[in-house]
Amino acid sequence: MSAVEPGIATGYGLHGWGSIPGSGKRFFFIPQRSERFWGALLYRGHWGLFPKVSQNGIDAMTYLVDRMAVDFRPYISTVLPPIIDRLGDSKEVVREKAQLLILKLMERDVITPQALFEKLTPAFTHKNGKIREEVMNCLQTTLTEHGAQSLSVSRLIPCVVKLLGDPMATVRDTAFNTLVEVYRHVGDRLRIDLQKKHSVPASKLPALIARFDELRAAGDLLPSALVVESE
């Protein structure tokens, strides 16, 4: 068996065994300090070298989260760092699967959006530009799925604004689009904050304001934005 095959087998094995009728909760009895178990799924060395191992490891972990739900909470600190690493993977499919796993953590109430982004904050300044980009994509999706009321968006705005001046064009564009998405949810409170509280690059602010105006004129603001403005 090659070096890749054990990792692939780990992923497929979890899917298969978890589907056996009558296996029940025995599947979920995982010692909290079972380093060999987590290592089989999350060993970053294999993940980086073999994309297929990476994909199956994430698939297996997503399956575990879906089945265990809140019982997965003791493991969040162990698994989140390597998940964040996979947001920077060179393979798009791996990055997408990592995003889905993060969303599954919130969907199954393993972690709240607020608590998640408190842990994800360092990713906004990660040396890997793909991770900086993907954490903002994750923020956009979280807003769509859970709403602006699910986390303190204002605390994350400085991180996003800073990335408007990122060396990578894709990161800059994602930062711009993230602010536009935030505006859809919170309305002119963001406009005021960008103009008065944050150091938005002079080349970016007019374009942002113009895009905000387009959204408002088109009636594309969400009810949450209108509620905030009426308060």
Which of 81, 111, 141 is the last residue before a domain boundary? Answer: 111
Residue 175: give its domain's CATH number: 1.25.10.10
User: 185 and 95 in one domain?
Assistant: no
User: 143 and 95 in one domain?
Assistant: no
| Higher-pLDDT residue of 34, 84 | 84
Residue 125 lies in a domain: no
Domain holding 66, by residue range, is 1-111
Domain count, the chain: 2
Please give the single-letter amino acid code of residue 201. Answer: P
Residue 105 lies in a domain: yes
Residue 61 lies in a domain: yes
User: 46 and 138 in one domain?
Assistant: no
On whether the pTM is more than 0.85, the answer is: no
Q: How many CB atoms lie within 10 A of CB 118?
A: 14
User: 142 and 57 in one domain?
Assistant: no
pLDDT higher than 90, residue 104: yes
Q: What is the pLDDT of residues 44-78, one digit of tens each?
A: 444 444 555 567 788 888 988 999 899 989 889 88
DSSP assignment of 50-99: -HHHHHHHHHHHHHHHHHHGGGGGGGHHHHHHHHHHHTT-SSHHHHHHHH
Residue 120 lies in a domain: no
Q: What is the pLDDT of residues 130-185, one digit of tens each?
A: 999 999 999 999 999 999 999 999 999 999 999 999 999 999 999 999 999 999 99
User: 107 and 5 in one domain?
Assistant: yes
User: 25 and 90 in one domain?
Assistant: yes
- Virtual torsion, Cα 75, 77, 82, 88, nearest 10 deg: 130
